[in-house]
Amino acid sequence: MKYFRILLLMTIASYAISCGQQGNQKKNDDGNGFKYLTEQFADARILRYQVPGFDSLSLKQKRLIYYLSQAALCGRDVIYDQNYRYNLLIRKTLEVIYENYRGNRNSDDFRSFEVYLKRVWFSNGIHHHYSTDKFVPEFSKEYFSSLLKEVDPASLPLAKGQDVNGFISELTPLIFDAQVASKRVSLDPEKDLILSSASNFYEGVNQHEAEQYYESLKDADRKAGKDTLISYGLNSKLQKENGKIAEHFYRVGGLYSGAIEKIVYWLEKAVPETETPEQKEGLLLLIDYYKTGSLYTWDRYNVAWVKDLNSLVDYVNGFIEVYGDPMAMKGSWESIVNFKDVVATRRTQILSENAQYFEDHSPVDPSFRKKEVRGVTAKVITAAQLGGECHPTTPIGINLPNANWIRKTYGSKSVTIDNITYAYDQASQGNGFLEEFAFSKEEIDRARKFGYLAGNLTTDLHECLGHGSGQLLPGVTAEALKNYHSTIEEARADLFALYYIKDPEMVNLGLIADYETAKAEYDNFMRNGLMTQLVRIQPGKTIEEAHMRDRALIANWVFEKSKGKNIVEKVTREGKTYVHIIDYDKLRWQFGELLKIIQKITSEGNYREARELVEKYAVGVDPVLHKEVLERYKKLNIAPYSGFINPEYTLVVKDDTISDVQIIYPEDFAGQMLRYSKNYSYLPLR
């Protein structure tokens, strides 16, 4: 189990809803003049988020946030390089042009150039952050070479002995040829997963060789009596050299040393500012891990981190999620700095205090339930800084650590990031999405009134109970489902949430007043899974991303099994398709049925059944419905993906001591990206 995060869960759906009594007229403003939506280009929009409560933190806590935030920014280049080995070279080239080109900056061509650069920043590279397909510029190769010839060659990242023409020939296919490195993460089971993916975790190594390498490594460790529970391969690149496979670790003195040294520098500054002994111990272990690359230390760090429950300020920093690797082994670098929202955390505390109840009453086969659910600590947090893979696009919920044995023995920390979901909500108000796709006025009203709470509760349930629920049969490992693992895992967590949001216990615990919240979630989930999430898919393409596949799997399966039973139907009115739920209780029962199946597949590690289920329900797209949805969506002029501008922090120094930390909220995405490139670039471009 390694996929514990929600990527922009339903940003278009549930967060296109206004909350509570607020009207839907306000756009892009919280009434205090804070601008949430700053710009839109291609399929992306740029939002800002506020950090409420920052000013009331103690000076020590502010300093801690400041140092951790600096560390969060220092790994930015790592994610670019992990995503694709030429990303840093391409980004640098584009930035040189952007900053130095003195020709006509108002031409259509230059505007297209600007959009392309912004898309590269938005995706941390030349592949779409979500679909992982390579995107190509809308300006011509000729225009690109004319731009390069206009700028001072000395400012370009030329290779040794290379002239501008040579540089142009090197870069042109990398940028313009859609067939070169066409996909960052390919999950096509018919192909070699590694060779068909452009991500930079393996070089000269194919899937079979990588599998063999780690199998024999594990074997050798087992024979030597070593702990084999570590996350093999998490922090390294496999590379074939002179016919032999070498594993290069990300650490000080190893791969990415330039950036990691800086991360360590800021983490060391943070140590004296820690709030608890556990937090201090964790930070010291993390520093040690970055220096040695030892995965044993990484596990010890995670244990310390998960035990630190009393610090207000917390952080994620490391090579963590494995979505970027088709083999689901290599961790992409990420960081989030945050602090607890004490009032809102009460909601998740109630859930985690009752985790055993939910586990015992889950509809899955009793042998797949956890006898004893351990320490699912859940909190609502305020993000203060996003970095690496979590920026500019960010998850809204996280559940870590990923190592199964640590989760089992020590539990995990689950968070919902409320200031981010709030920003989504605010930026989406009144954009017309709900009005276009909801079946009835009743549904719209319900969504307005309960949608925000429903979305947050679903995230809480998904993260703090769903992923932590269930157990694997002895001998089954999380890797058993390979390329289907993440879809199945996300579906499992979603189904757990969907099943329980309509449970009487939720009312008993005072988390919801009645079932209207659950109904709002069901409306939203089915509408999204059957229809509206297709706005993120290009015509002719299939569904690839794990969370989208998970939602399609659930919605399509339930829809098929409901046929003729008056549970859920598709209705056509004036040529437009709508999803209408007839019986919410029966729908809940269907979610429970699918949860049983998915849990069985997970517990038994049944690859064949996972493959059948995913390929049948989660991948394909009905082209006619897809076309209709895209046309309706286009008229609304909403970009389907959101990324964020970070706040920026400055130390206020008086008489050589830090007297305060100031926070500002920049509005210019390009400005922030250029500042980051200027101030936090520590890796070689080639």
**DSSP at 646:** P
Of residues 137 and 468, the one with the C-beta less far from Zn ion: 468
Output 472-480 pairs: Cβ under 8 A, ≥24 positions apart. Answer: 472/404, 472/602, 472/603, 472/605, 473/367, 473/368, 473/603, 473/604, 473/605, 476/603, 476/604, 476/605, 477/404, 477/605, 478/1, 478/2, 478/404, 479/328, 479/329, 480/605, 480/606, 480/607
- When the beta carbons of 273 and 490 are compared against Zn ion, the nearer one is 490
Residue with smaller CB distance to Zn ion, 95 or 490? 490
CB of residue 396 to Zn ion, shortest distance in Å: 11
Residue 485 C-beta: closest distance to Zn ion, Å? 12
How big is the site for Zn ion, counted in residues (CB under 5 A)? Answer: 2
What is the 8-class DSSP label of residue 645?
E
Asked if 493 and 466 count as a contact pair (C-beta separation under 8 A), the reply is yes
Q: Is the separation of the CB atoms in 321 and 285 below 8 Å?
A: no
**What part of residues 263-282 is at the interface with Zn ion (CB under 5 A)?**
none
Closest C-alpha among 555, 502, 522 to residue 438: 522
Residue among 323 and 669 whose Cβ is closer to Zn ion: 323
Q: What does the per-residue mask of binding to Zn ion show for 435-474, with x meaning CB under 5 A?
A: ----------------------------------------
> What is the H or E stretch that residue 247 is in?
strand 244-249
Whole-number minimum distance, CB 459 to Zn ion, in Å?
Answer: 9
Give the nearer residue to Zn ion in terms of CB position, either 376 or 493: 493
- How near is the Cβ of 412 to Zn ion at its closest, in Å? 12
Indicate the residue whose CB is closest to Zn ion.
493
283 near Zn ion (CB under 5 A): no
CB 646 within 8 A of CB 653: no
Query: Rounded to the nearest whole angstrom, what is the least distance from the CB of residue 283 to Zn ion in the complex?
Result: 26
Question: Rg of the chain's alpha carbons, rounded to an integer?
Answer: 24
Only one residue has tokens 């992923």, namely 467
Which residue is associated with the tokens 């206020």?
652
Smallest gap from residue 6 Cβ to Zn ion (A): 5
Minimum CB distance to Zn ion, residue 469 (Å): 12
Stretch of 127-135, 424-432, 491-499, 676-684 lying at the interface with Zn ion (CB under 5 A):
491-499
Residues 396 and 415 sit within 8 Å (Cβ to Cβ) = no
Contacts with Zn ion, 523-562, as mask; x by CB under 5 A = ----------------------------------------
How far is it, in rounded angstroms, from Cα 522 to Cα 560? Answer: 16
Pairing of strands 412-417, 376-388: parallel
End-to-end CA distance of the chain: 34
Phi, psi of 307 (to 5 degrees): -80, -15
Task: Work out whether 1 is an interface residue with Zn ion (CB under 5 A).
Answer: no
The closest alpha carbon to 160, from 148, 170, 174, 173, belongs to 170
Nearest CB to Zn ion, comparing residues 132 and 486 = 486
| Least distance from Zn ion to the Cβ atom of residue 403, Å | 16
* CA distances for 380 relative to 30, 236, 314, 344, 466, angstroms: 21, 32, 12, 6, 16
Q: How far is the CB of 585 from Zn ion (least distance, A)?
A: 26
Q: Which helix (H) or strand (E) holds 203?
A: strand 202-203
Of 393 and 429, the one with the shorter C-beta distance to Zn ion is: 393
**Given the complex with Zn ion, which of 314 and 550 has the nearer CB atom?**
550
CB 547 to Zn ion: min, Å: 7
- From residue 165 to residue 194, the character string flagging contacts with Zn ion as x (rule: CB under 5 A) and all else as - is ------------------------------
Residue number with CB closer to Zn ion (174 or 495):
495
- Bridge partners (DSSP) of residue 338 are 314, 383
The β-bridge relationship of strands 5-7 and 236-241 is: unpaired
d(CA 637, CA 666): 25
Q: Decide whether 287 or 373 has the Cβ nearer to Zn ion.
A: 373
For Zn ion, the binding residues in 471-490 under the rule CB under 5 A are: 490
Q: List C-alpha distances in Å: 609 to 553, 562, 601.
A: 13, 21, 7
Instruction: Give the shortest CB-420-to-Zn ion separation in angstroms.
Output: 15
Nearest distance, CB of residue 87 and Zn ion, angstroms: 26
Q: Measured from the CB atom, is 397 or 451 closer to Zn ion?
A: 397
Tokens matching residue 580: 């209408």
Give yes or no for residue 493 binding Zn ion (CB under 5 A): yes
Between 16 and 398, CB nearer to Zn ion: 398
Residue 514 to residue 493: CA distance in whole angstroms: 23
Query: Minimum distance from CB of 338 to Zn ion (Å)?
Result: 18
In this complex, which beta carbon is closest to Zn ion, that of residue 93 or of residue 399? 399
Q: Are 326 and 201 in contact (CB under 8 A)?
A: no
CA angle 503, 507, 508 (to 5 degrees): 105
85 or 551: CB nearest Zn ion: 551
Kindly state the smallest distance separating residue 5's Cβ from Zn ion, in Å: 6
Q: Please, where are the H alpha helices in 101-236? A: 108-123, 141-150, 164-176, 207-223
Question: Using CB under 5 A as the criterion, which residues of the chain lie in contact with Zn ion when the complex forms?
Answer: 490, 493
